[in-house]
Amino acid sequence: MALAVVVLTLATGCIWQQQTLARADIVGTWTEGDTGTLLFKDDGTVVVTNLAEINDNGDKMSECSGTGEWGVYPDAKEAETLWTTVCDGNPWKFGGSKAHPQMRRSVGDPDNGNHQTLSRK
pLDDT digits (tens, 9 = 90+) for 26-82: 999 999 998 999 999 999 999 999 999 988 888 899 999 999 999 998 776 778 999
8 phi/psi in degrees, rounded to 5: -65, -40
CA 52, 59, 89, 117 dihedral sign is negative
Q: Is residue 107 pLDDT above 60, yes or no?
A: yes
Long-range contacts (CB closer than 8 Å, 24 or more residues apart) made by 20-23: 20/78, 20/79, 20/80, 20/94, 21/72, 21/78, 21/79, 21/94, 21/101, 22/77, 22/78, 22/79, 23/72, 23/76, 23/77, 23/79
Write down the pLDDT at residue 109.
86
Please tell me the distance from the alpha carbon of residue 115 to that of residue 76, in angstroms, as a whole number: 25
> By three-state DSSP, how is residue 112 classified?
helix
Task: Check: pTM over 0.75? Answer yes or no.
Answer: yes
The DSSP call for residue 43 is T
